[in-house]
Each structure stands twice: as structure tokens, then as C-alpha cells.
Amino acid sequence: MKRLLPLLLTAALLAPTAAAAPACPTVSAASALLMEQETGTVLYEQNAHEKLEPASVTKVMTLLLIMEALDSGRITKQDVVTVSPYAAGMGGSQVYLEAGEQMSVHEMLKCIAVSSANDAAVAMAEYLCGSEDAFVSQMNERAAQLGMADTRFSNCTGLPISDHYTSAYDIALMSRQLLFHPDILSYTTIWMDTIRGGAFGLSNTNRLIRHYPGAVGLKTGFTDSALYCLSAAAQRDGMTLIATVMGAPSSDTRFQGARTLLDYGFANYALTTVHPQQALPTVPVLLGENELVQPVPEYDCRLLLPKGHSGQLTTEFSIADNVEAPVEQGQRLGEMTVCLDGQPQAVIPLVAAHPVARLTFPALFSRLVRALLMAD
């Protein structure tokens, strides 16, 4: 059996305001979208599901698969990649890798993230999967897992090829996932760097990194057929926004479109952390060394809200009447539902703050004896 314990939270961070609703931005591009990264909330969209060529913004997925391989321990940054003749023959943006040349995963990542190097992207695809085709199959599998229903990849570079498309919404989905690997920012925020011991310079194709406060990435793209594309991410005041622009008529237009979207998001929205203002009730532990265990939220609840919103936040707790030992730290004991103006916004698991071991037989016997003596 569970009990519901309503707890009213003040909305001090949500002071009322008389400001008018913010005007929607205008972006001169075939499609565009603005997403808050932590919650995945879409704040603006324009033809967001139109299937278009992404050009080198394709490499967001390439980088995601590389980062997942690194974070899982499959590869390390110190691994040495040998460049194949096929990879060395890639056209478009490149760092002029030669067949047989060897370069670390770390330097390959710099080449892809900073200079959008097609040759480095293919070299890494072959290193991870044996061939670009096999890697592209993994790209499409990962896209399906992320819910990228508007997407089909045919290569790992974004060079023009048939049956290769995505949407502004899907670019935001894979960009959001890439940002869950924070080490990628050590590459996507590089403005200028070198490889080959300083002999070859790299310059970031995303000029927002230099000129937009808080910009942290992620990827530009251009071909004659795709026109100018961009996945731009920026961080301010603990919030990360992703602006995607596809099919812009010029480089200036895509960057201005991203600035407009990011400015709109930062000016009008904020993440608010919801903290209960009183301790949650303890849960009795049957046959435990400790008689009670304290439930706590498994993680902070952060809601994305319009700045100046005057709504009321409330929480409801559904907590077990008791639990039997042993209890593991982090064991689920209930859940907390956060509501805004009575509408559910998030459900946060409540878990045991500490472990509780089961009573041994001698300890149980001793407890029973004490209980009998007290009863007398």
C-alpha cells in the first residue's frame, strides 16, 4: 500500500510579470528548430520534419558513435589509426591524410570536429567497423534508437550521395545525445589548433565558437545541393540550447539564424530546479538492522519554464508503507510527481538514501527479548 502526501512548493523563482508573450523568431532557411538539451523541449520549429540533405552536419552522428566507443572503453584516444587508400581519397573538406599515414584517435577527433575532415571521418569509420558501409549501418541503427524517423544516412561524411537525408528535428535529437558526452566539448570548442606536430593548422568552420558568448559547438555543413546547414549549441546559466538550421542561402544567414534562435531561447526560458521544502517521510524497514530508511529523489527535477511565469509548482509523493530488509542504497521506494498549475510535468523516482542490512538471527532474538521486557 502507498500513501499520497501533497507538498506545496513556493514559486519564488517564478515571479509574476506583465511582460507580453515573446515574439517568435524568424529564420531565413528551409527549416530550423530550437531545442533545450537537458529536457529535449522544442522551443521553436519551422518545417522541422522536412527531409533535407544535411551536408557535413551528418558528422554529428559520426562523432556520437566515436564518443560512445570511447566512453564504453572499446577504443581509447591513444589508439593509432592507419589511413586506408579509400579514406585518403575522400574529397571536400579534408586534412590531406595519406594512405598508410598513422594518427591517434585524439587527433582524428580534432580533424573531424574542428575542420570537418571527410578523410578523418572515413578513417575512423573503418577503424571502428572495418568499412564505411558497416559504420553507416550503425549510424542508421543508432538513428532509429534515438527516434530519428526523418533520417537515412548513406555515408559518414555528408558528401553528396543519393538517399541521404535528415531533418532539423532529427539533427537536434542526435546533437542532444552527443552533448551527453561532455568530453566532446574539448574538441567542438577549439577555435584553432594543429596536427602533425604543429605542421598542419586547423581552423574551426563554426565561427560562433569565436563570436557567440557561450557557444560550445557543434557542426557546420555545406554542399551546392544542401546549401548552408548548422547545428549550433550554446550554454548559459546552466542551460544548453541547440539551434539547427538547414538549407540557408548563405553562410552568414545560417549563423544569423542560429544566433536569433539562441538569443530567443536564452532571453525567454530558464531551467528551474525543484527542491522539496521538507524532508520526505521515512519508510519502516521490516527485519532490518535500522528500523527506518530515508527516501530521496534519485536525481534533481529541473523544469524548463518561461521566464516570468507565475504558475504554482506542487509535488505529490507516492511512497511504500514499508520495505523488507535487506535494502540496497538506491533501491526504489516510491516516486515524486511534479505538477505545474495542477498538470504533471515530471515523475522522479524516490530511492533509499542508504543501505539497510537484514537482522541476523542473534540480533533478531535480542530485539524480541528487549521488546518483551519493555512490554512487561
- Annotate 119-187 with DSSP letters as a single string: HHHHHHHHHHHSSHHHHHHHHHHHHHHTT-TT-B-S-SS--S-TT-BB-HHHHHHHHHHHHTSGGGHHH
Which of 178, 165, 190 lies closest to 62, judged by CA? 178
Active site residues: 56, 59, 116
Q: Which amino acid is at 99?
A: A
Judge whether 30 and 245 are in contact, CB under 8 Å: no
Q: Each residue of 126-141: b (16+ CB within 10 Å) or e?
A: bbbbeebeebbebbee
Q: Which amino acid is at 27?
A: V
Other C-beta atoms lying within 10 Å of the C-beta of residue 124: 28
* Residue with grid cell 574551426, as numbered in its chain: 204
Residues near 277 by beta carbon (within 8 Å), at least 6 away in sequence: 7, 9, 10
Strands 283-286 and 323-324: parallel
Distance in angstroms (rounded) separating the CA atoms of residues 112 and 98? 16
C-alpha cell recorded at residue 38: 537537458
Distance in angstroms (rounded) separating the CA atoms of residues 298 and 60? 30
- Annotate 204-227 with DSSP letters as a single string: -S-THHHHSTTEEEEEEEEETTTE
Three-state SS letters, 64-75:
HHHHHHHHCCCC
